[in-house]
Amino acid sequence: MATQTIWIYDTTLRDGAQREGLSLSIEDKLRIARELDRLGIPFIEGGWPGANPKDVQFFWQIKEEPLTQAEVVAFCSTRRPGKSADDDPMLQAVLAAGTRWITLFGKSWDLHVTEGLQTTLDENLAMIQETIEFFRSQDRRVIYDAEHWFDGYKQNPDYALKTLEAAIVGGAEWLVLCDTNGGTLPHEIGAITQQVAKFVTAFHASRPTLHAPKIGIHTHNDSGTAVANALAAVIEGARMVQGTMNGYGERCGNANLCTLMPNLQLKLGYECVQPQQLTQLSEISRLISEVVNLAPDDHAPYVGLSAFAHKGGIHVSAVERNPLTYEHIQPEQIGNRRRIVISDQSGLSNVLAKARSFGIDLDKQDPTCRQILQHLKTLENQGYQFEAAEASFELLMRKALGRRPEFFTIKDFHIHCDLIRDSDVWRSQSLATIKVAVNGQDILEAAEGNGPVSALDAALRKGLMNFYPEIASFHLTDYKVRILDGAAGTSAKTRVLVESSNGHQRWTTVGVSENIIEASYQAVVEGLEYGLMLQSQAKTALTAQS
C-alpha cells in the first residue's frame, strides 16, 4: 500500500507572527521562508499583501530569489459586503503579489456574519463563492480557510455546510476547517471532520462536474489540544495540516509543526517531507527561535534540548545498553541528539556531522574531536548557542584543528559614550578607538557611531580597510540581544547574535558576556573574520579552477 501524503502548510510568517512580543523584519521573514523551504514544507504562507508594507515587500523580494520547491501563498479575506470582487482593491493587491496559490478565509459561523460583518447570511455565501471565482478567473488556485468552522458547525450545521458548498462551487481545491478560537476538543474535531468528509463525497456525487476538494485542518492551542486536534482530523480524512514552527501564534499559539510532523510521519506512517529533510527539524526549530529572538523551549517534544536527555541512575545505564528502554524514537530521525550527563560520548556524532558540513573530515578517534566537544560543552554551559551561529562554531572548530586563519589581532579598544541634549530630546553618541595588528603592523583608529557597537564596528573596519578592501562589501544585517539569566538583574549574562552579509552569503556569529559591549565585540569581530575567511576560500577556489 502506497504511503499517503499529508500536505504541510506553514503559517509562521503570518499567524505565528501574531504572537504577542514577536516581531519579524523583512530579512527575518525571508530567512525563515528559506529554512522552511530547505525543510521541504510544500506551502509557506507569506502574509496578507496590501495589509501592511512589510508583507508587500516580502512578496516582491521572494519573487527576486524564488524558493527551491515550496509554494509561497498569499492570504486574504473574501470581498467586502455589497462590493464586487472585480472592484475590491484589497483583492487586486493580493493578485499583485504574484503567487500561484491564494488562501482565502471566509465566515462559517452565522454569529460572525450578522454581528461581525453585519450583513446577511446569503450575502456571505455570495462573498465566498464570488471571491473564489474571481481568483480562479485570474488563474489562481485557492485554499479556502473556513474560519470558526467548528464553532459555526456546532451552532448551525446547515448554514456552515452551505458555506462549504459556496466554496466548492466557486472552485476551491482545499477546504480547511479552522478551530479559530481553539476551544474544540479532539473527539469533537474527529466527529465533525468525519461528517464534513461524508458531506463533500455526497455533494460531489450529486454534482460530479465540480472539482472535489480535499479537506485540511487548522487548529489553535487555547485548550492545549492543537496538536491532538490536528491528528484527530487527519485520522478522519484531512490531508492538509496548517500550523507554525514551535507553535507560535496568537494567544496560546497554533498547532506546533515541530511536534505534528514527527507524529504524522514517524508514528502514523504518513509522508510529510523526505526522511533526510526531517533530520533537519531540530536544527531549524532552534534556528527560527533565534531569528524571532525567543528562547527555545528546552522541554519541547522531539526538538527540545532535553527531549532525549538522561540523567543518572537506572535511566542512564538502561539507555547505554539499549536506547529503546527510555526513548520512543531515535533522536537522529528528527536531528536531535541523546544527552547523557556523565558520558563524554554525548554529541560526538553531531560534531563530526557538522565538521563534514564545513568540508572538514574528522576521525572519531582523533583526540581533537573530544577536545572540540568538551570545549563546546563548556561554552554552552556559559550561555553560548551555536544552532543559529554556525560561523562561530566553524571558527571554533578550525581553531582547535590549527586551521583558523589569523587576519588581524585586536590589541585593545576603548569606547566613550555621551548623552547629548538636542532641544528637548536626548540623543546618544559614541566614540570608539581601537588598536589592531595586521601582518605585524599596529594600526590605531577611531570612529563615531550612534551607539557603542556601531562605533566599534566602524573603527575596526576603518583600521582594516587598507589591508582588506573587501570588507567594504560586508555589512551587518541583524543584531539580536538576549538576557540569559534575568534574575541576575543588571549583572546578567547577555548573548548577542550578529548576522553579516557580503551581498551573496549570510553568516551569523555569537558572543556571550556579562558585559553587553564585550559580547557584541566578540560577535562583530568573528563576523569580520568569517567574512574574510570566505573571501580567502573563494579566491583559492578560483585560482585552482584557472
DSSP string, 521-541: HHHHHHHHHHHHHHHHHHHHH
The pLDDT score that the predictor gives to residue 346 is 45
Distance CA 55, CA 74 (A): 9
Owner of C-alpha cell 468552522: 149
The pLDDT score that the predictor gives to residue 469 is 93
Contact assessment for residue 183 and residue 155, using Cβ atoms and an 8 Å cutoff: no
Q: What's the pTM?
A: 0.72
Contacts of 540 (CB under 8 A, 6+ apart): none
The pLDDT score that the predictor gives to residue 34 is 97
Rg over alpha carbons for the chain, rounded to the nearest Å, is: 27
Collapsing DSSP to helix, strand or coil, 362 comes out as: coil
pLDDT in tens, the chain (546 residues): 568 999 999 999 999 999 999 999 999 999 999 999 999 999 999 999 988 899 999 999 999 999 999 999 999 999 999 999 999 999 999 999 999 999 999 999 999 999 999 999 999 999 999 999 999 999 999 999 999 999 999 999 999 999 999 999 999 999 999 999 999 999 999 999 999 999 999 999 999 999 899 999 999 999 999 999 999 999 999 999 999 999 999 999 999 999 999 999 999 999 999 999 999 999 999 999 989 988 789 899 999 988 988 765 566 667 767 888 888 999 999 999 886 543 334 466 667 766 777 788 888 788 888 888 888 878 878 888 776 788 998 999 899 889 999 999 999 999 998 887 777 777 778 999 999 999 989 999 999 988 888 899 999 999 999 999 999 999 888 888 988 876 666 668 899 999 898 878 889 999 999 998 999 999 999 999 999 999 998 888 888 776
The pLDDT score that the predictor gives to residue 342 is 31
Q: Where are the domains of the chain?
A: 10-269, 409-545
Distance CA 17, CA 203 (A): 37
Distance CA 494, CA 479 (A): 13
Residue closest to 508 by CA, chosen among 59, 38, 67, 27 = 27
Q: Which residues of 223-248 are buried (b: 16+ CB within 10 A; e: fewer)?
A: bebbbbbbbbbbebbbbbbbbbbbbb
The pLDDT score that the predictor gives to residue 343 is 33
Q: Which residues of 379-398 are buried (b: 16+ CB within 10 A; e: fewer)?
A: beeebbbbbbbbbbbbbbbb
pLDDT in tens, 285-344: 999 998 998 878 989 999 998 898 876 556 666 776 788 888 899 999 999 988 654 333
Distance CA 370, CA 352 (A): 10
Residue closest to 241 by CA, chosen among 211, 273, 212 = 273
* Cβ count within 10 A of residue 287: 21
* Cβ count within 10 A of residue 304: 18
CATH topology of domain 409-545: Double Stranded RNA Binding Domain (3.30.160)
DSSP-derived secondary structure letter, 493: -
Residue 9: in which H helix or E strand, if any? strand 7-10
Contact assessment for residue 449 and residue 455, using Cβ atoms and an 8 Å cutoff: yes
Residue 151: in which H helix or E strand, if any? helix 149-155
Distance CA 272, CA 41 (A): 8
Contact assessment for residue 56 and residue 93, using Cβ atoms and an 8 Å cutoff: yes
Residue closest to 170 by CA, chosen among 104, 121, 80, 240 = 104
350 burial via Cβ count (<10 Å: 0-12, 13-18, 19+): middle
Residue 492 to residues 485, 488, 522, 524, Cα–Cα distance (Å)? 5, 5, 17, 20
The pLDDT score that the predictor gives to residue 532 is 95
The pLDDT score that the predictor gives to residue 490 is 66
Distance CA 539, CA 476 (A): 22
The sheet carrying 409-422 orders its strands as: 409-422, 425-438, 441-449
Q: Quick one: CA dihedral 499, 296, 228, 259, positive or negative?
A: positive
The pLDDT score that the predictor gives to residue 525 is 94
According to DSSP, the β-strands at 101-107 and 71-77 are parallel
The pLDDT score that the predictor gives to residue 373 is 81
10-269: CATH class: alpha beta
pLDDT in tens, 112-155: 999 999 999 999 999 999 999 999 999 999 999 999 999 999 99
